[in-house]
A = this chain, B = another copy of it.
Amino acid sequence: MATCEIISVGTELLLGDILNTDAQFLSTELAKMGIGVVYQTTVGDNPERLKKALSIAAERSDIIITSGGLGPTPDDLTKEICCEFFDKKCFLHEESLDKMKQYFANKNIEMPESNVKQAMLPEGCTVFPNNNGTAPGCAMEKDGKHILVLPGPPRELTAMYYESAVPYLSQFSEKTIVSHQIRTFGIGESALAEKVKKYLDGENPTVAPYAKDGEALLRVTAMADDEESAEELMKPIIEKIFAEIGEFVYGIDMPNIETAVVNSLKQKGMVVATAESCTGGLVSQRITSVAGSSEVFQCGIVSYANNIKHQILGVNEDDLKNYGAVSEQVASQMAQGVLRLSGADVAVSVTGIAGPGSDGTNKPVGLSYIGLAAKDGTLFVKKLLTGHSGKNCREYNRYVNASNALNLVRLYLDGKI
């Protein structure tokens, strides 16, 4: 398998001014082609350091892909340094120069002198035209090593990658890598890893556990000559994994649990309603983030204050006083209330203490009750303790509460409640 190092050039990256989405994009795409990214390096607009980084990269990878530093300003030097490193002379590429002049002409501007250097390209290179900006990129080769030079702005890089880099790189693409993500809910990363321990040592396919947003997932990856063969390789191990942990799985390659829930509701022709307190609208927001959710969602109530819980959802005032808003009784009545109000098939409620402040009672931050009520008479409340009460707990608790609410709907639709 051909190996690759990605070098992102730009002092703004080292200052944390911008997020390095280029490296992620390139990594994803290279994996699809079966090219193994072994290192990513970020270096500033510093000729010496870039030269050293290229030197190190050339020792440890077959292919180097750089992004950034192709601009017209004095500190844009990536191409020049790469040419120096590969000992290539540069010449003025007339076609690129004309293209750049036209780019400026289209905006009724005269091309500044400083842009001319962007049309200087190494002898013998493969030119990568830029259809979304000024600077062309290129690919050069020496002694079996390859350097691809791409622009930094994500929109320009993405387009140039697909248009020019992919054809150039196809010579290295012997194998295909295919991955599937097994998404789970209700089991932690270490417990999950324990259950599938015997599969974690595989070479091909590989199985790797990850934690993400309060959920654990398994990434199964296989490398083969083509996509079908890679899928065939993975099939048995995915089946075995399902036999171990199927009860926790909400989908394969599902972006999130709300997508699984909306799909399930659509399949069953059912509608869900939401009644939220501490999550403040996050449950309904997640449901409606899924395109086509208007088929399965019509009504959400954010009853953030107790009087609203009573007034709109019909929650009993004495129960609010005696048990408090964060209680099984109130969660149950909130769900029943919005079910009645909306005419939905199933309703879910969330009431809890997101923190960091408590609610004036002895109840712990991170406690919540998730209620479910359905037209068929099902009534269920789940008590949840996230254990998170530190300074930054609010966002985490709200997100995990909302995920649990969505999971409860999923379990109901799957006939498990």
Task: Give the B-binding residues of A (Cβ under 8 A).
Answer: 8, 11-21, 23-31, 37-44, 49, 52-53, 56, 60, 71-75, 103-104, 106-109, 112, 114-115, 131-132, 153, 155, 158-159, 179, 188-191, 193-194, 200-201, 208-212, 219, 221, 274, 276, 278-285, 287-289, 291-294, 297-305, 307-308, 312, 341-342, 356-357, 366, 385-388, 390-396, 398
* Contact partners of A20 in chain B: CB under 8 A: 19-20, 23-24, 40
- Choose among A108, A158, A281, A294 the residue with the greatest number of B CB atoms under 10 Å from its CB: A281
> A304 touching B297 by the CB < 8 A rule?
yes
> B23 touching A42 by the CB < 8 A rule?
yes
Can you list 9 pairs linking A and B with CB atoms under 8 Å apart? A15-B27, A19-B19, A19-B20, A106-B387, A132-B392, A159-B390, A284-B302, A288-B398, A289-B395
> B24 touching A16 by the CB < 8 A rule?
yes
* Contact partners of A16 in chain B: CB under 8 A: 23-31, 37
> A398 touching B208 by the CB < 8 A rule?
no
Give Cα A388 to B103, complex, Å: 9
* Contact partners of A305 in chain B: CB under 8 A: 294, 297-299
Decide yes or no: A73 and B193 within 8 Å by CB, A282-B285, A302-B302, A305-B299 being known contacts. yes
Give Cα A179 to B50, complex, Å: 24
Give the nearest-CB partner of A156 in chain B: B392
> B288 touching A304 by the CB < 8 A rule?
yes
Within the complex, the shortest CB–CB distance from A292 to chain B, in Å, comes to 7
Decide yes or no: A31 and B15 within 8 Å by CB, A73-B200, A308-B342, A312-B299 being known contacts. yes
- Choose among A27, A302, A391 the residue with the greatest number of B CB atoms under 10 Å from its CB: A302
> B291 touching A280 by the CB < 8 A rule?
no
Give Cα A396 to B194, complex, Å: 39
Give Cα A31 to B13, complex, Å: 11
* Contact partners of A193 in chain B: CB under 8 A: 72-74, 114
> B398 touching A289 by the CB < 8 A rule?
yes
> B219 touching A179 by the CB < 8 A rule?
no
> A115 touching B308 by the CB < 8 A rule?
no
Give Cα A30 to B284, complex, Å: 38
> B132 touching A75 by the CB < 8 A rule?
no
Contacts A18-B210, A41-B42 known; 16 new A-B pairs at CB < 8 A: A13-B24, A15-B28, A19-B21, A20-B23, A71-B189, A71-B190, A73-B189, A74-B200, A109-B188, A131-B390, A280-B289, A281-B302, A288-B304, A289-B398, A299-B312, A301-B301
> B15 touching A179 by the CB < 8 A rule?
yes
Within the complex, the shortest CB–CB distance from A187 to chain B, in Å, comes to 10
> A39 touching B31 by the CB < 8 A rule?
no
Q: Within the complex, which residue of B191, B304, B388 is in contact with A298, where a contact is CB–CB below 8 Å? A: B304
Q: Within the complex, which residue of B42, B279, B304, B392 is in contact with A294, where a contact is CB–CB below 8 Å? A: B304
* Contact partners of A41 in chain B: CB under 8 A: 39-42
Q: Within the complex, which residue of B12, B21, B112, B390 is in contact with A194, where a contact is CB–CB below 8 Å? A: B112
